[in-house]
Amino acid sequence: MIEDDFYATLKLKTGEEIFAKVIPTDEDYENLKLLITNPIVISNISSRSGSKVGYKVEPWLKTTKEDMFVLNMSDVLTMAESRDVEMIMMYQTFIKKQNSNNNILPSKKPNMTRKMGYISDVNEAKKILEKIYKSL
C-alpha cells in the first residue's frame, strides 16, 4: 500500500476527472478511503482555429471553501499518479493564488483616503442626503 501523499489524476464513476494531492488511508482495499486536498478540474482552451492555446484551472467544487474531501475508493474508476512537473506546478500555482485570495487580512486592505470618495460620519451623511432630498 502507498503510504505517502502524492499528486494524481482521478477519474470518478460519475465521469468527472480531477487532479489533486491524494493521501491514502490505512484501511483495507475494500474499505479504502482517499483524502484529497484542493481538487481541481483542468480543461483545454482552444483558439477559434481549434489549436490548443492553454488550460483553464477551476476548483472541483465551486460552492465551498473546504480544501479537503474524503472519497471512497469504490467511487473511483481509475487513478494515475502524476509526476508531470508542468501539471504539478500549475496545480500549486492555482492553490497559492486561491489561498492568497481567500486569506486577505484586514491589515492588508488599503486605508481609506479622500481620493476614494467623501469620508464622513453617519450623522453628517444623513444631513447632507436629507438636504439633497428636500431640494428635489
Whether the predicted pLDDT of 110 surpasses 80: no
| 95-121 mean pLDDT | 68
For residue 36, which of 1, 71, 60, 61 has the smallest C-alpha distance? 71
- pLDDT tens for 24-52 read 887 766 678 889 999 999 888 888 887 87
- pLDDT tens for 50-93 read 787 788 889 999 888 888 999 988 899 999 999 999 889 989 99
CATH class of 6-108: mainly beta
Q: Where are the domains of the chain?
A: 6-108
Contact 32, 25 (CB under 8 A): yes
- pTM, two decimals, is 0.66
